[in-house]
Amino acid sequence: MIFNFRKTLTTTATTTAAATAASTTTTTTTTTTSTATDYYCYYNYYYYYYYYYYYYYYYYYYYYYYYYYYYYYYYYYYYYYYYYYYYYYYYYYYYYYYYYYYYYYYYYY
C-alpha cells in the first residue's frame, strides 16, 4: 500500500553574511529534513474516508428507499383492509336491514 513508502525531502538553505570590520565571510548552512510520508498517508486516509462515506451514504439511501417502499406497501395493505372491512360492514348492514324489513312485512301482513 501507499503507507509503506518512505520518501525524504532535503532542503538546504545557505546564508552568507559579510563582516564589514574584519573583511571575513561567515557562511551559515541550515539543513532541513522533512518526509513526504505524512502527505501520502493523509491523502490515502482522506481518500478511503471519502470512499467509505460514499458507501455508507449509498447504503443509507438504499435502506431509506427500502423502508419507504415497505411503508407504502403496508399503508396500501391497510387501506385495502379498511376498504374490505367497510364493504363487509355495509353488506352486513344491508343484510340486517333486509332481514328486518322482511320480518316486519311478514309480521304485519
Predicted confidence (pLDDT) per residue in 11-69, tens digit: 444 444 444 545 555 555 555 554 566 666 777 778 888 888 888 989 889 988 888 88
More confident residue, 70 or 21: 70
Strand partners, 13: 30
Residue 59, H or E segment: helix 37-108
Task: Look up residue 32 and give its amino acid.
Answer: T
Task: Answer whether residue 81 shows pLDDT above 50.
Answer: yes
The domain limits of the chain are 42-109
Q: What is the pLDDT of residue 100?
A: 85
CA dist., res. 47 & res. 39, Å (int): 12
pTM, two decimals, is: 0.31
User: Between β-strands 25-35 and 8-18, what pairing exists: parallel, antiparallel or unpaired?
Assistant: antiparallel
Residue found by looking up cell 505524512 in the block: 38
Amino acid present at 74: Y
Above 50 in pLDDT, residue 6? no
Is the pLDDT reported for residue 1 higher than 80? no
